[in-house]
Structure 1
């Protein structure tokens, strides 16, 4: 069997050691021959640190995987079987700008939703589409696994504007499986969850443990649910959950508990400790650990970042494609009628059957109004955001931001846009040609 070439764009990310750990653990079935770590010149120091740690991890595991770190994206992509994207245009400094400007404007500051997620999408989509051109030319048979946030919007842009075989991935679903497996003391294989929605806006509409429905356990408070480390732990009102008849994900708190989160964010802003500030400190601490030549494995401190277990989701998906297992994974894919109340060409996040030649989403059925209203609203915002990023049309950008549920008015949307666009000028070639 020929060895696989895996390419990681954003190879200098603090998440890379977790990904490499997953590759090493599954080397007996994946037979990876080389992992190429790609980054930009601004990330030179981090890439070098990750390269050295990766080589130590491979050596400790006695694997024959070749680790290559490079700034040459084309060379890295050429003939790759899988390309994994996990990069951040503008790095953490621009994330901090997004959060601070948003909160000062009186709206929630967050990297994947609202005005922060909007700006991150505008910065990222042009770069991602350039990457896709390279994949089309140099590795036309490769699968692109996208973790770059906002993952759903980025995946939709690729689906609409390239011919690359793309799958969007998030660590949220796998964390639900792990949480419920732990609560009920069963294996993850005994947990079955029905998801409906889009990335960072998914609802659980069915929860089964060994074939028995346990939804009422959560809706009545008998069972806890997974809470992401990067989202405030305010809990859920049981009357609200019961009337919804679904389990919202943690990101729903930005929509359903807006006042409480905004109050908390204003407090954090006063102390210069927003989530962006926290992540910068975690990153600093992680890379100090990574630099230690004695470290030969992924440190536990990495779980303080919001993307814990993302690599497990990635490696499990690669295994399913590579081995044609026909397993079910929760993925971001083209709708194609799966959720009837959404357009066919948009990205959704649902359970899918994975084969080596295709990804098939499982039909969702009727979506209740409690879910449909917010879902259609946010999806329309995402459609316009993709269009704005591709065209550089400020009018479309204004309409997208105005439509988002976390932006209270067109006037506020215009104020935010007028402040954010100039700050991001160097990263917005479509708006500032």
Structure 2
């Protein structure tokens, strides 16, 4: 079985390799094909994988593709893990917004929209090549902003593309542990969009344990999302939000913390990963050790701007244990190939699940996956401020997709202005104009 990774020189690719090469009865990949627009990074990652192959149980054969078409041909699964514009683009996404007094974050707010505008043309091109060369392949999308990218690719590939994110899975893992159960024994209700969702029920033996969980400081203390957003707010909502909702609920605090930090998250990752790639190039024999150290620092500092100063370097081990998106992807592949039924939270078409949203809108809900494909679970009715936020953000996403498809800057301006974290039409115009001036990929999207 051939698995292709588009963005194969990315830092997190060795995590996928580790999952594929581990013992177990998961789906076996015989060829891992890597494609990347940065060949020097691709070579470094191949060196890391070669060193991992020496210490893992069942490593797949690694190949490098010279062209996108070569990468896609004969693939059974394709992981889309692109970062159009690289770290430099992310930094501009963040800084342009911050300089105008608006939240600067990779996927939330105008930075996420700028990222989408320059990424969507490439995502559609990938989908077109898959449709032409590997129509039976499954495309698993990691590329951010994952909801918008998946929705745009679905217009070409339909149900053969699905988006995944490890943040809701991490939330579920922590909540299951907090109620003293195991994943196979719980039933749950989760609904939202990518990087915007809520756990609203977690049942064991038919009894919803969420109300008791919310009453217990000890239990909430085991859940990173509750520590981030505050016990009182979690209890007031009666639900546990995805951690990215911190940026919506605490916009002022988040913006101030990011602005007062020495560097943005993008600047931190550029410094950290540039150092890794440079050091690994010069000291190839130590590439794996350098990667492991960099990975630990990266995971420990995740969403540091959302934590109090004294907690920023003290993320609990349980918050990063249990596997990330590579584990979600491997479980998804295994269920599709082997038919073993699995339930996981995925980005899929709405199709009436949330009646107030368009049928084609991509939402994030629990799904059952087996050899017959992916079937979304019907979720409880979404109401009140949760529904309002979902509708507003989804309208922004669909305006952005339309702006990209039609190369229409007026639609892009409307999308930015409609975002709940942008409070002025004139600021929205300045954001768009500055992104077009400073990021070539954004400018090219409207040429």
2:90 pairs with 82, 85, 95, which one?
95
1:109 aligns with 2:104: yes
- Cα distance change, pair 294–412 in 1 and its aligned pair in 2 (3 A): closer
Matches within 5 A, 1:219-298: 219-222=214-217, 223-224=219-220, 226-227=223-224, 234-238=228-232, 240-268=233-261, 271=262, 273-287=263-277, 288=279, 292-294=284-286
Q: Deviations over 1:28-57 (max 9, x none)?
A: 5423110001100xx222111111111222
The CA RMSD measured in Å over matched residues stands at: 2.3
Give, in whole Å, the separation in 2 of the partners of 1:89 and 1:368: 36
User: Residue 340 of structure 1 contacts residue 365 of structure 1 at CA under 8 Å; is this kept in 2?
Assistant: no
1:235 CA displacement: 3.2
Q: Which residue of 1 aligns with 2:34?
A: 37
- Name the CA distance, whole Å, in 2 between partners of 1:66 and 1:143: 20
Cα distance in structure 1, aligned partners of 2:333 and 2:433: 42
**Residues 347-369 of structure 1, C-alpha deviation per residue, up to 9 Å, x if partnerless?**
00000111224211111131121
Paired residue secondary structure (1:299): helix
**1:83 corresponding residue in structure 2:** 78
Task: Tell me how far 1:241 sits from its aligned partner.
Answer: 2.8
Q: Aligned pair 1:374/2:389, yes or no? A: yes
Gapped runs of 5+ residues in structure 1? none
In structure 2, distance between residues paired with 1:56 and 1:110: 34
Name the counterpart of 1:10.
Answer: 7
The 1:243–1:183 alpha-carbon spacing in structure 2 relative to 1, beyond 3 Å, is closer
Q: Could you tell me how far apart the structure 2 residues matched to 1:254 and 1:286 are?
A: 29
Deviation of the 1:265 alpha carbon: 1.7
Superposed displacement of residue 210, structure 1: 6.1
Query: Once structures 1 and 2 are overlaid, which stretch shifts more, 324-333 or 296-305?
Result: 296-305
Q: CA deviation at 1:428?
A: 4.4
TM score, norm. by length of structure 2: 0.88
Report how far residue 236 of structure 1 moved: 1.8
- Range with bigger deviation, 211-220 or 72-81: 211-220
Equivalent residue number for residue 149 of structure 2: 154
1:402 maps to which residue? 417
CA distance in 1, matches of 2:228, 2:338: 41
The alpha carbon displacement at 1:278 in A equals 1.5
Corresponding residue SS for 1:60: coil
Report the Cα offset of residue 234 of structure 1: 4.4
**What are the equivalent positions in structure 2 for 1:42-191 lying under 5 Å apart?**
43-61=38-56, 63=58, 65-163=60-158, 165-184=160-179, 186-191=181-186
Is the CA contact 2:2–2:74 (under 8 Å) kept in the aligned structure 1?
Answer: yes
8 Å contact kept, 2:280–2:286: no
The alpha carbon displacement at 1:426 in A equals 4.1
Task: Give the number of equivalent residue pairs.
Answer: 420
